Amino acid sequence: MINLKIDGFDVSVPKNTTILEAAKQLNIDIPTLCFMKGINEPGSCRVCVVEVEGWRGLHPACVTKVSEGIVVKTATSTVREARKNILELIMANHNRECLSCPRNLKCELQTLCNDNGIDTIPYEGKVDKGCLDTSGPIVRDPNKCVLCGRCVSVCSKIQDVSAIDFAFRGAHMTVTTAYEEGLVGQDCINCGQCIKICPVGALQERDDTDKVWKALENPELHVVVQTAPAVRVALGEEFGFAPGTNVEGKMVTALRRLGFNKVFDTNFSADLTIIEEGNELIERIQNGGKLPMITSCSPGWIKFCEHNYHDFIENLSSCKSPQQMFGAIAKSYYPVKADVDPKSMFVVSVMPCTAKKYEADREEMSVDGLKDIDAVITTRELAKMIRQAGIKFAELEDSKQDSILGTYSGAGTIFGNTGGVMEAALRTVADKLTGKSLDCIDYTAVRGLEGIREATVNIADMEIKVAVANGTGNASKLLDKIRAGEANYHFIEVMGCEGGCINGGGQPIIKDKSTTEAVKTARIKGLYNIDASCEKRKSHENPEIQKLYSEYLGEAGGHKAHKLLHTHYTA
Ligand code: HC1
Ligand code: SF4
């Protein structure tokens, strides 16, 4: 252990610990704009500078390792002056339109400036870094970028995409795409992980709330909404609830108050996905189909596969995602039952995911010329609409989703967690293959936050080998092993974001990034708690799903199901 003193207090930490980490042990929070443990550790912003007695100059705490006996000071007048100066320099080259910035009040730079007494900007010299990139669901504003490099790191190291990088030098340095073209034409998978990690408002999702308001105000339209599994355990964070709190009942009430004709649930169509996907898996296993079958509900993952693992396209399940299945059913079965013209249907999704905006606009995602989904808003955008409508969310009473696309099982709920789609599928596949209703339905081996998890499940005397990957960087590692002949499976679940949809790019911004893992864990627990409390915990036991098949679809994997619920990828 290394012994040192920070701000007059003794602390002992292991060798190779940084001063920043050592200070945390004493509950001293040294500010930084660029540092993200394990992801981005460049020491570039210099906001974390500290003094060390006997050492010349100031030292960035995030990259300076402790040594025996050193005496560190984190808030002397020299340090405070330097920190202020650094922030003033950053602000001199920053678009300071805070009031109209989507990150207003959740901006790390704004907080640092407040905390460090920045009241004027003594320097001039703003350099124009180019236009707003509005080419796709991810909007980039180079004039708000503080060059911390977090987005570059998450995109390359975690997602294995590298759609953005530093370019140019000195005052002209910027984070941009290849040839400075729009993100939409790049390898970008629209996952939005760069938005979540950005300390300022340089990255945000395309705002589709106006589109939804207009539809709600149009008396010619029948506007229905679906909410993804992971939204209900995160939306509350926007209104002061602890991460993981299940605010489903209040969310449904709020959506009714906003004026939606019907409030439905993506959990319903997640159950539907399991019926189709489970059936497809059994068929592939029994009839020598392409294995491993890989889940297809995460649109960031699909785009990643199309760009980088083209040889696995046939492994993808032909099932549309629950978002898209919902839209197809909302514009076919529902209009028949509700006596509504399918052409007057306007289907809105509330998703934790920015890539869902892209998925809804894909050419494949329509039936007979009708788009499955008309507008997608994120959890953050829904919170904004609720605030715009003056709804006091925390005070709302609970209410329940509408029938006939609003009932769900626990299996549909856990889709939002990494491993959840796999577990939901196994619950149904095991019952189908054994012809029994099994009691053992908690497949804990596929739960957790590890990047890749593997298990072998014995069902009806068959050893079914499964794997779960979360974050496209982990998907790369897994698929590379398969390519090299070092691993093989029957069934793989891939989710584009680490942790699954609970950590999607459209979820509430976690302002204190050091709590990210705890927030993810709380949201995951929130969904498993809902699952445990559900009366039905298997997708095939959902009575509304049973009715949909008996009244309308016929057989799982049948002609009608194929037309509405399946697709194929060719890119
Ligand atoms: Fe997801 Fe899915 S789990 S992809 O994360 O399969 O977005 O929550 O809605 O479609 O159900 C997202 C979540 C979501 C789909 C489902
Ligand atoms: Fe990279 Fe995802 Fe951001 Fe695209 S959305 S730039 S893939 S992190």
Residue pLDDT tens, the chain, 571 long? 999 999 999 999 999 999 999 999 999 999 999 999 889 888 889 999 999 999 999 999 999 999 999 999 999 999 999 999 999 999 998 998 999 999 999 999 999 999 999 988 888 777 788 889 999 999 999 999 999 999 999 999 999 999 999 999 988 899 999 999 999 988 999 999 999 999 999 999 999 999 999 999 999 999 999 999 999 999 999 999 999 999 999 999 999 999 999 999 999 999 999 999 999 999 999 999 999 999 999 999 999 999 999 999 999 999 999 999 999 999 999 999 999 999 999 999 999 999 999 999 999 999 999 999 999 999 999 999 999 999 999 999 999 999 999 999 999 999 999 999 999 999 999 999 999 999 999 999 999 999 999 999 999 999 999 999 999 999 999 999 999 999 999 999 999 999 999 999 999 999 888 899 999 999 999 999 999 999 999 999 999 999 999 999 999 999 999 999 999 987 6
Region for 469 from its dihedrals, namely left if φ exceeds 0, alpha if ψ lies in -120 to 50, beta otherwise:
beta
- Indicate whether this complex's ipTM tops 0.90: yes
d(CA 40, CA 154): 8
Distance (Å, rounded) from C-alpha 491 to C-alpha 566?
18
Sheet strands side by side (includes 222-227): 262-265, 222-227, 345-351, 375-378
Q: How far is the CA of 501 from the centre of ligand 1 (A)?
A: 6
- Ligand 1 pocket, 416 CB below 6 A? yes
The four Cα atoms 213, 214, 219, 221 give a dihedral, to 10 degrees, of: -90
- So what's the pLDDT on residue 129? 85
pLDDT reported for residue 224: 98
CB half-sphere exposure, 288, CA atoms < 13 A: 0
Measured from the Cα of 354, ligand 2's closest atom is 5
Kindly identify the ligand whose nearest atom is closest to the C-alpha of 152: 2
Ligand 2 contact via 32 beta carbon (within 6 Å)? no
Ligand 2 close to Cβ of residue 201 (< 6 A) = no
566 forms beta bridges with 319
CA angle 225, 226, 227 (to 5 degrees): 125
For the chain, the first-to-last Cα distance in angstroms comes to 54
Give the pLDDT score at 571: 64
Distance 212 CA to ligand 2 centre (A): 25
Concatenating the DSSP letter of every residue in 81-145 gives: HHHHHHHHHHHHTS---GGG-TTTTS-HHHHHHHHTT---------------B-SSSEEE-TTT-
Q: Which of 177, 173, 148, 153 is nearest to 164 (CA)?
A: 177
Q: What is the pTM of this model?
A: 0.96
- State in Å: Cα 352 to ligand 1 middle: 8
pLDDT of amino acid 251: 98
pLDDT at 168: 93
pLDDT at 123: 85
User: Hey, whose CA ends up nearest to atom 7 of ligand 2?
Assistant: 188
How close is the Cα of 39 to the center of ligand 2, in Å?
A: 14
pLDDT of the residue at 127: 79
Helix (H) or strand (E) holding 196: helix 193-197
Q: Mention every residue, 6+ apart, whose C-beta is less than 8 A from residue 559.
A: none
Measured from the CB, is residue 226 less than 6 Å from ligand 1?
no
Give residue 125's Cα distance to chain centre: 37
Do 242 and 522 form a contact (C-beta atoms < 8 A)?
Answer: yes
CA of 230, nearest ligand number:
1
346: which residues sit within 8 A by CB, 6+ positions away? Answer: 215, 218, 221, 222, 223, 224, 374, 375
Task: Tell the residue number behind the tokens 């290849």, with chain if given.
Answer: 178
**Residues tagged active-site:** 277, 280, 297, 317, 356, 359, 364, 501
Q: Which ligand 1 atom minimizes the distance to the CA of 497?
A: 5
Tell me, what DSSP letter sits at residue 293?
Answer: E
Nearest CA to ligand 2 atom 3: 194
CA of 47 to the centre of ligand 2 (A): 26
For ligand 1, the distance from its centroid to the CA atom of residue 363, given in whole angstroms, is 19
SS3 label, residue 450:
coil
> Distance between CA 500 and CA 449 in Å, rounded?
9
| Residue 278 Cβ contacting ligand 1 at under 6 Å | no
Task: Judge if the beta carbon of residue 499 lies within 6 A of ligand 1.
Answer: no
Q: What is the DSSP code string of 312-378?
A: GGGGB-SBPPHHHHHHHHHTTHHHHHHT--GGGEEEEEEES-SHHHHHHTSTTSEETTEES-SEEEE
- Rounded to an integer, what distance in angstroms lies between the CA atom of residue 99 and that of residue 140? 18
User: What count of other Cβ atoms lies within 10 Å of the Cβ of residue 357?
Assistant: 25
Ligand 2 pocket, residue 353 CB under 6 Å: no
Residue whose CB lies within 8 A of the most ligand 2 atoms, among 188, 304, 306, for a mutation test: 188
Residue-wise DSSP of 9-45: EEEEE-TT-BHHHHHHHTT-----SS-BTTTB----S
- Which of 225, 266, 528 should be mutated for ligand 1, with most atoms under 8 A from CB? 266
User: Which residue shows structure tokens 């696995």?
Assistant: 312
Q: Is 306 helix (H, G, I), strand (E, B) or coil?
A: helix
User: Quick one: pLDDT at residue 130?
Assistant: 84
Residue type, 375: A
Tell me the CA distances in angstroms from 192 to 251, 364, 497, 506, one per residue in order: 23, 22, 9, 7
Question: Is the beta carbon of 470 within 6 A of some atom in ligand 2?
Answer: no
